């Protein structure tokens, strides 16, 4: 019993370190990609590590009128929730640490916790800028959760119809390519849902063009305007870990393939090869769903952002769902 507990603790610490290091690396890669697309040299890939180091060396400043307990607890909750998400997500062919105790619906709920922590921290700061930013964050969450839910539930439902056992378990989704059981209509529907998830990712991560809750030029940083020092570093680390989580979720749902599925390898070699291939897929997801989008677009107004997700992406997501349902009704895919 004690050995199992120790193994779980070590595993959680390992996942936390992996999420933080890989997340900061992805942020550095993203900044380098964006700079190159804008014909700039850009900062070094290690710049996010340098920024976090500087913040950790500075003192926390708590506003005089802030609700101190909530203000200081919010960054910790955001980081803890982001790391918890990774405990339910695989890395290549390495199954998640808590994969048997949670499913894709739980991950959807956990994705909202870091944003809610930021909202609570913004309101607790007592700043009018942070209050407006928190309100915008809540509106943004309401906007993008609908198309995100469509994309996730549609895939699990298609696996269920195909006769796959436990279709909502993340381990099942990671080990079964939904593309292999879908027909022509299903493929078209999956492409639409992939497009939806690519546009939901910037909103989940509060990146351009969906960074209206922070909006430095309008709100001077929005809901994070009063944060500094270690608290701001914790929020930055939470954003880095959540970047890994969102990219991993996209890989699991739409790009689950591993080299070991097709090439005979020794067990250790297979794990390493799958992990390296997984990293490549994650970097590509960040490039297309974060870097490219933020370079080609400016910040959206909050009303335009809501219209984008509720109207346009909501319709695209429903169209993808209809095509997947039609594909299943016509029996055009493969039945397990």
CA dihedral 56→44→82→197, nearest 10 degrees, is 150
pLDDT at residue 89 in the model: 92
Over pLDDT 70: what percentage of the chain? 96
- 333 pLDDT band, cuts 50/70/90, is low
Query: Alpha helix locations (H) across the chain?
Result: 2-37, 47-56, 68-86, 104-125, 128-161, 170-175, 184-204, 216-219, 229-254, 267-286, 292-296, 302-307, 314-329
pLDDT at residue 221 in the model: 66
CA dist 117 and 246 (Å) reads: 17
pLDDT digits (tens, 9 = 90+) for 122-175: 889 888 888 888 888 898 898 999 999 999 999 999 998 888 888 888 888 888
pLDDT digits (tens, 9 = 90+) for 91-129: 988 888 877 777 888 998 999 999 999 999 988 988 888
pLDDT at residue 242 in the model: 95
Question: What are the CA-CA distances from residue 224 to residues 134, 230, 235, 247, 311 (Å)?
Answer: 9, 13, 9, 24, 29
β partners of residue 169: 103
CA dist 166 and 168 (Å) reads: 6
DSSP 74-112: HHHHHHHHHHHHHTTS-BTTB--TTGGG-BHHHHHHHHH
pLDDT digits (tens, 9 = 90+) for 217-237: 666 667 788 888 899 999 999
Closest by Cα among 31, 51, 37, 91 to 244: 91
Lowest-pLDDT range, 64-68, 251-255, 289-293? Answer: 64-68
pLDDT digits (tens, 9 = 90+) for 19-49: 999 999 999 999 999 999 988 988 899 999 9
What phi and psi, each to the nearest 5 degrees, are found at residue 133?
A: -60, -40
pLDDT at residue 42 in the model: 85
pLDDT digits (tens, 9 = 90+) for 173-186: 888 889 988 888 98
Per-residue pLDDT, averaged over 198-212, amounts to 87
CA atoms within 13 A on the CB side of 81: 21
Instruction: Say how far residue 4 (Cα) sits from the centre of its chain.
Output: 29
Token duo for residue 278: 């997984």
Closest by Cα among 184, 206, 209, 111 to 151: 111
Closest by Cα among 65, 212, 59, 60 to 127: 65
Average pLDDT score over the chain: 88
CA dist 260 and 265 (Å) reads: 7
pTM of the model as a whole: 0.91
pLDDT at residue 219 in the model: 66
pLDDT exceeds cutoff 90 at 196? yes
pLDDT at residue 85 in the model: 94
**Residue 215: how many CB atoms within 10 A of its CB?**
20
Over pLDDT 90: what percentage of the chain? 45
59 secondary structure, DSSP code: P
């Amino acid at each position: 019993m004690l050995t199992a507990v120790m193994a779980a603790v070590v595993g959680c610490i390992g996942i936390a370190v992996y999420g933080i290091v890989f997340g900061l690396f992805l942020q550095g890669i993203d900044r380098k990609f964006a700079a190159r697309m804008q014909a700039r040299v850009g900062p070094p890939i290690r710049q996010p590590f340098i920024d976090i180091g500087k913040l950790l060396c500075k003192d926390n400043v708590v506003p005089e009128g802030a609700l101190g307990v909530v203000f200081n607890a919010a960054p910790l909750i955001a980081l803890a929730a982001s790391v918890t998400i990774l405990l339910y997500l695989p890395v290549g062919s390495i199954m998640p640490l808590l994969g048997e105790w949670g499913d894709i619906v739980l991950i959807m709920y956990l994705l909202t916790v870091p944003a809610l922590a930021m909202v609570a921290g913004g309101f607790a700061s007592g700043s009018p800028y942070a209050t407006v930013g928190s309100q915008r964050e809540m509106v943004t969450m309401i906007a993008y959760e609908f198309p995100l839910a469509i994309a996730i539930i549609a895939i699990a439902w298609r696996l269920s119809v195909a006769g796959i056992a436990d279709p909502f378990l993340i381990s099942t989704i990671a080990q079964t390519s939904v593309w292999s059981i879908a027909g022509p209509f299903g493929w078209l529907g999956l492409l639409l849902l992939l497009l939806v998830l690519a546009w939901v990712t910037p909103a989940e991560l509060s990146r351009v063009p969906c960074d209206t809750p922070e909006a430095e030029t309008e709100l001077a940083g929005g809901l994070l305007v009063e944060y500094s020092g270690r608290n701001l570093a914790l929020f930055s680390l939470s954003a880095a870990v959540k970047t890994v989580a969102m990219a991993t979720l996209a890989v699991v749902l739409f790009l689950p393939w591993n080299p070991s599925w097709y090439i005979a390898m020794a067990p250790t070699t297979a794990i390493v090869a799958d992990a390296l291939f997984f990293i490549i897929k994650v970097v590509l997801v960040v490039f297309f769903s974060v870097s490219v989008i933020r370079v080609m677009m400016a910040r959206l107004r909050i009303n335009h952002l809501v219209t984008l997700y509720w109207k346009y992406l909501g319709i695209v997501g429903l169209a993808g769902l209809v095509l997947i349902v039609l594909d299943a009704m016509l029996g055009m895919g493969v039945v397990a």
